[in-house]
Amino acid sequence: MIEENLIKPLLEKLNKDYYPEGNTLPTVSNFGEIRKLLAERIAELAEKNFDKLINSLYRMDINEKKLHEVLYAKEKENIPSLIADLIIERQVQRIRTQILYKEGKL
């Protein structure tokens, strides 16, 4: 389970990485909604600008093995949601590390 205090920093990171054109994710209060909206954006990018999607995943340092498993999953309609899960997992990991660093615990 992801802590509620991570929602705002997660939205900030996702807006920076996936909505640079001035569009933003609406402010939501749960991770299910964030996942749904992010999956929609990923599906859009996969269709219109696949290279940009792959470059963003590389920049975020998404685990290549996990990404490969997702991209070659049997159920293709779930791929955007599964990629969204990987992105959220990685971004939350980064946010937690930043918090620990700021608190002097790293």
Return the domain boundaries, the chain: 4-102
Give me the pLDDT at residue 40, please: 93
3-state secondary structure 39-74: HHHHHHHHHHCHHHHHHHHHHCCCCHHHHHHHHCCC
- For the chain, 106 residues long, the average pLDDT of each consecutive 10-residue run is 81 80 71 91 92 91 94 89 95 92 86
pTM: 0.86
Q: Phi and psi (nearest 5°) for 88?
A: -60, -45
pLDDT of residue 105: 83
